[in-house]
Structure 1
Amino acid sequence: MALTIHTVLRDEELTLRWLSGSTPRMVVVFTGMRSQVGGQPLDEFARSASLNGQNNVLFVTDRRATWYTASGLWRRIVRAVTGLRQSEGIREIVSLGTSMGGYGALLLPRDVRVARAIALAPQITMDRSVLNDLRWPDVGKRWGALPVRSIADTIEDTRTQYYVSVGGNCPEDVAHLALLPKHKRIHRFVLPRGRHNLARSLKDAGVLSDVIAASLRGRKRRVEALYDQYAGVMA
């Protein structure tokens, strides 16, 4: 079955794309600047996120890679999500992303009721005083006030289940993961031999789509079993 993704907004800083589904669940996917998710083309990733057309999917692209710091950008994203929740009769929202997109996926529960937030190799902070990760631009200095000092500061006030995965061979990503508090709603996974592009590694191991499907449904034990399968392939 062909999946049709409609562009509903595109300007110099933000692109929103919409894929209709058959259930009252909406997955908000925060993409990379090139409209990819962990290096996966949008159309390819759409099938996994939508569970072959079941879920509604909103793809969110910060086109200037500001980590949602550009003036007014995050407010626009939140308004779009809440507006679609009302207009489409959405009963459950799940967020998903990798790297910068993972940062967005983890931030969304601060402002929107999100059942599960799923992030691969995310940044937990873009504040250089919290973690001086030189891989990324100093977006606060360039674009203005950060939307949050650290994702860790937002966890306690939500009811979201967090699924956060990083590669064990990427010490910077492991350092970001360590910033998250120990909490029963935070499910953290450090994958052997994984690097920053964890989505690519999972795809190469043949488990990416299944990991996404299990995470979207909140099946933690299934995610753990798939990661054990991944570890076996990588051994």
Structure 2
Amino acid sequence: MDKHIIFEDEQIRAIFLKGSSDELVFSFGDLITRAKGLAINAEKSLAKFEFNVIGIMPKEKSWFPAESMHNLLLAIEDVIAPFQKRIGYGGSMGGYAAIKYSKLLGLSRVVSLVPQYSIDPEVIEDSRYNMFYHAELNADMQVQPQDIAADCEYIVVYDPYCPEDRAHFVELEQVIPEIKVLNLPFTGHDAIAVLASSELLKDFLTREFDSVYFYQKIRQVKKGSKFYYRKVIETLLPHHRRSLGKILRNNDMQLDSQFFDVKLKQSIIRQLLSNRQVSEQDLLKLGIQVNLPQESNSQLLDSFGHGLVFNMISQKIESYAQNAINLNHKFLIPIFAKGTGLVQISLNDERYVIAMNDRHVMKLFKEQDELSAGMHPLVLKKYSDYYLLSYKQFNLSSDEYGGNDFVEDTPETAKFMTQPEESEEAE
């Protein structure tokens, strides 16, 4: 592979990758894919189709300063002269540069994913990137009318529901008269990861713009993108609880166990268990594995009338409405009480003690097993008309949404009641 550095200064490095195409692609790196050896942004996909490429890789988080870019052009004029068709490609910081220097480099098409208009805090507020603005390097860095070539086609891909990226797009619209846009809803700033596809990139760079065709291709790529599902779930979950069920029902996907962070995973589990019957297949699609216990019924209730359970998926004590417990009895194991003693549940006809450490990590132990270091059993205390569930000097308190936390005092929300056990068919 013929690849070598053709320009370098303190801010950027330019690498020429020789191919067989008529086009020359300027591929700009971003904040993450900065200069490292001879690596080029999107190199694998570009090399697959033997594009001639100049990879312009940032060495610093400096948004391709104008002085560096003008010096680059002086150094590579002879290299780029034979190429009449030049295309710019990049995302985020690289997307900004592809637009900003399109006229300077003589580009005929720009494909810019989630670009910035500027990172100057005096020009636009963006807490993600304003910190990287350097007045000496980035003065007057915003995209301006004189940066835009009349004979260049500008294609911008972004999520119109991402407020920060939307603000940049609104500004870019004002300076690019014929801007073409492809919306990528519910992906936030992750368009580059979501649309990682060699075939789609080739189409973006060379195919005549046809929004219907591009949206069809984008849909195909999104269906195979784990990043897309994660962003959609993160975005929809707080406002459209039932949408997650539709995603699971209508898509054949398999996420790994590390795909969601702990907080989002617990939120997803709660929404699933609260709104619909959950199958093992649903959980496996989300990368969640669980050892299923046998059923057990219990009627220890919080002050809102919700049943207190041990959630086998999240490994936490939580509260759920009775119908949710009935639907998901394999995962939500009721906690029942007959008197003062250790908090226990029944799994596979065996009794398990619920223990916790100071970091609020809960774990099940068989009655006869030793506790691991730092773990202390939870204690159920019976009073005349209520129960307390305690850890050291703290008492478990429930909120109206089924969340539980340990508090030092004894509010009404920390007092649990009991009622007779119900059969499996009870509603």
For the superposition of Structure 1 and Structure 2, which TM-score range results when normalised by the shorter chain?
A: 0.7 to 0.9
Name which of 141, 145, 150 aligns with 2:139: 145
Unaligned runs of 5+ in 1: none
CA contact 1:152–1:180 (8 Å) conserved in 2: no
Tell me the amino acid that sits aligned with residue 167 of structure 2: A
Name which of 26, 41, 49 aligns with 1:52: 49
Counterpart of 2:203 in structure 1 is 214
Q: Distance in 2 between matches of 1:74 and 1:43?
A: 17
Q: Distance in 1 between matches of 2:138 and 2:40?
A: 33
Tell me the amino acid that sits aligned with residue 214 of structure 2: V
Tell me the amino acid that sits aligned with residue 107 of structure 1: K
**Which secondary structure does the structure 1 equivalent of 2:173 belong to?**
coil
CA contact 2:108–2:153 (8 Å) conserved in 1: yes
Name which of 23, 29, 49 aligns with 2:27: 29
Counterpart of 2:157 in structure 1 is 165
CA contact 1:106–1:151 (8 Å) conserved in 2: no
Deviates further, 44-53 or 94-103: 44-53
Unaligned runs of 5+ in 2: 230-246, 248-427
Counterpart of 1:180 in structure 2 is 172
Q: Distance in 2 between matches of 1:98 and 1:69?
A: 16
**Which secondary structure does the structure 2 equivalent of 1:150 belong to?**
coil
User: 1:94 deviation in Å?
Assistant: 0.2
CA contact 1:69–1:140 (8 Å) conserved in 2: no
Q: Deviations over 1:23-71 (max 9, x none)?
A: 231100111255459xxx9468213234521x2100011211211227x
Q: Distance in 1 between matches of 2:9 and 2:73?
A: 17
Greater RCO structure (CA 8 Å; 6+ sep): 1
User: 1:138 deviation in Å?
Assistant: 4.7
Find out whether 1:102 has 2:95 as its counterpart. yes
Q: Distance in 2 between matches of 1:51 and 1:103?
A: 25
Tell me the amino acid that sits aligned with residue 149 of structure 1: Q
Find out whether 1:82 has 2:77 as its counterpart. yes
Note closer, same or farther for the CA distance 1:106–1:121 as it changes in structure 2 (3 Å cut).
Answer: same
User: 1:90 deviation in Å?
Assistant: 1.1
Name which of 57, 62, 81 aligns with 1:61: 57
CA contact 1:124–1:176 (8 Å) conserved in 2: yes
CA contact 1:168–1:194 (8 Å) conserved in 2: no
Counterpart of 1:115 in structure 2 is 108
CA contact 1:192–1:231 (8 Å) conserved in 2: no
User: 1:169 deviation in Å?
Assistant: 4.6
Q: Distance in 2 between matches of 1:58 and 1:187?
A: 24
Q: Distance in 1 between matches of 2:2 and 2:191?
A: 27
Q: Distance in 2 between matches of 1:34 and 1:7?
A: 20
Name which of 200, 211, 233 aligns with 2:193: 200
Q: Deviations over 1:123-180 (max 9, x none)?
A: 012332331112112524253523x43346633x431101111124522112111112
Q: Distance in 2 between matches of 1:63 and 1:232?
A: 34
Identity of aligned residues (%): 22
CA contact 1:126–1:139 (8 Å) conserved in 2: yes
Q: TM-score, normalised by structure 1?
A: 0.80
* Aligned-residue RMSD, C-alpha: 2.8
CA contact 2:27–2:41 (8 Å) conserved in 1: no
Counterpart of 2:3 in structure 1 is 5
Q: Distance in 2 between matches of 1:85 and 1:196?
A: 32
Q: Distance in 2 between matches of 1:30 and 1:75?
A: 15
**Which secondary structure does the structure 1 equivalent of 2:94 belong to?**
helix
Tell me the amino acid that sits aligned with residue 53 of structure 2: V
Tell me the amino acid that sits aligned with residue 71 of structure 2: R
Deviates further, 122-131 or 180-189: 180-189
**Which secondary structure does the structure 2 equivalent of 1:84 belong to?**
helix
CA contact 1:18–1:59 (8 Å) conserved in 2: yes
CA contact 1:14–1:60 (8 Å) conserved in 2: yes
Note closer, same or farther for the CA distance 1:80–1:165 as it changes in structure 2 (3 Å cut).
Answer: farther
